Amino acid sequence: MSKVKYVFVIMIFLSCYLHMYFLYHNPGQSFNNPEVYDASLTEVYGDKVLKYGSFDAVYYSITAEQLLSKGFLGFASTAPNAYVTPGQPVYLAIIFGIADLTGGDHLLFAKIANMLLSIATSVLMFYIGFNIFGKIWVGFLSGFGYMLYFPQYHYFRALLTEIPAIFLFCLSLLLFVLAIKKNNAKYHILFGIIFSILLMFRPSPAPLVLIGIGIIVYNNSVKNSLRIAILWLIGPILIIAPWVVRNLIVLNEFILFSSQENPLFAGTNPFELEDYGEMMNKANEMGISQKEAAHLRIEEGFRSHPALWISWYVFGKTIYLFQRPSAISLYMNNNSFFVKPIYLYHYMTIISAIFATVIFRKRGSVFCLSLMIIMYIAVSNVFIVNDRYGFFIMPIFILLGSYMIYISVKHYKDFISSLSKHFKARLKWD
């Protein structure tokens, strides 16, 4: 076995081992301590909350079961709605359906499916790093870098969107890179399809396609750019259009992604200085929707307290995204021995990515990856933010950090080599 294959096998083995460890021991307060949840909701859903790891996960599982048994999608409702995008409920419904056919447990099958996607993401990170930077060791650093990043080992056990969404994000990024390098229609079509599926799990990455469009236009003629655009559109036509048509027919509304208004409204509370319940009561008393209330609050906030609101939307929300590794606060009590290294690794990843952005900003690949992070943060900061949303974009930080480490080690080795040659020459001369 070659050295490269040996390292690759070690990466996959370690990822499998860590996932199996967390699957078997199932640590974390959200899976073991009912006190972390609101008592009124635990009375309604009981042990399901601990089994699935969060209330949103319970709602997703109920929605998937309802989709299987009654044939309609209604999140936290007994009637059809478009409160969330259909990706996660459909994904879980497929898994639950397979579990039913084989007599398996819904939750166990979902965890195993998430585990496989999470392990596969480390493999994708290897290929992304290798194809973007053309260095196999950048690929290995990227793969190992993601494999060692803690939040995946929490979220693959919770039936939330993080694991499938990040897998689809990395897969779409790899397909885009291959499409650019090979200029093959197959990769362009697959990119459009996978990216569209991603948006059915998480709509927030949608604006990132503008970076892809910019790269295509910059590197191609107008005619070829239009040809590629047509190939990309196959994905939205196959994946997103049926969802829009369903919403028009069933709900009599044009809804591109989801009808949820709460994230925009909940994000209009700078540094959580106001009580959220009071915010809701004021909106209800005014007889307006959360979306309308959000627009009013934003307009009034920027007019009356510009410094506070600018700092909140530019800096405050960004800090909330990356202030800690996602979900680590649920492991502070019984697992504190590994918490500090996880924090350190998280911060070092971000710092190394920032160094790469500053030092190598003139390199096209680094510039585009950095622009992805900036655009994602800008879009996320419009809405409510927490470290779950920060976790989604961490693969890009890991790619940039891996490149920074590779270049640093290479320059160090070159320096030592030149120093060694210098001393050998001096000794020979003497």
Q: Which range, of 82-91, 139-148, 277-286, 306-315, averages the lowest pLDDT?
A: 277-286
Q: What is the pLDDT of residues 57-116, one digit of tens each?
A: 999 999 999 999 999 999 989 999 999 999 999 999 999 999 999 999 999 999 999 999
What are the structure tokens assigned to 343, written together? 């924090």
Contact 422, 373 (CB under 8 A): no
pLDDT at 264 over 80: yes
- Is the pLDDT score of 317 beyond 70? yes
Which of 404, 397, 340 lies closest to 373 in space, CA to CA? 397
73 phi and psi angles, rounded to 5 deg = -105, 115
Residue 417 has pLDDT above 90, yes or no: no
For residue 234, the Cα-to-chain-centroid distance in whole angstroms is 24
Report CA-CA distances (Å) from 397 to 103, 118, 369.
Answer: 41, 17, 8
Check residue 47 and give its pLDDT. Answer: 81
The alpha carbon of residue 326 and the mean position of all alpha carbons in its chain are separated, in whole angstroms, by 11
**Tens-digit pLDDT profile for residues 327-380:** 998 987 766 678 889 999 999 999 999 999 999 999 999 999 999 999 999 999
CA dist., res. 47 & res. 400, Å (int): 41
**pLDDT number for residue 224:** 95
Q: Tell me: pLDDT of 2 over 80.
A: no
Q: How far apart are CA 374 and CA 376, in angstroms?
A: 6
From residue 307, give the alpha-carbon distance in Å to each of 251, 301, 313, 374, 386.
Answer: 41, 9, 10, 21, 22
CA 408, 414, 417, 419 torsion-angle sign: negative
Query: Is 422's pLDDT higher than 90?
Result: no
Please state, in angstroms and rounded to a whole number, the distance separating the CA atoms of residues 345 and 354: 14
Indicate the DSSP class of residue 24: H
133-137, 286-290, 372-376: range with lowest mean pLDDT: 286-290
Say what percent of the chain tops pLDDT 70: 95
Top pLDDT among 39 and 99 is at 99
Helix (H, G, I), strand (E, B) or coil at 274: coil
What is the domain partition of the chain in residue ranges? Answer: 3-260+305-429
Q: Residue 286: its pLDDT value, please? A: 87
Instruction: Assign 385 a pLDDT band (cuts: 50, 70, 90).
Output: confident
Residue 269 predicted with pLDDT over 70:
yes
pLDDT (0 to 100) of residue 251: 96
Residue-wise pLDDT tens digits, 180-192: 999 899 999 999 9
**pLDDT for 255:** 96
Instruction: Calculate the alpha carbon distances from 67 to 43, 94, 101, 242, 343 in Å.
Output: 24, 10, 16, 16, 39
Q: What local confidence, expressed as pLDDT, does residue 430 receive?
A: 53
Confidence of residue 424 (pLDDT cuts 50, 70, 90): low
First to last CA, the chain: 45
Q: How many CB atoms lie within 10 A of CB 355?
A: 16
* pLDDT single digits (tens) 208-236: 999 999 999 999 999 999 999 999 999 99
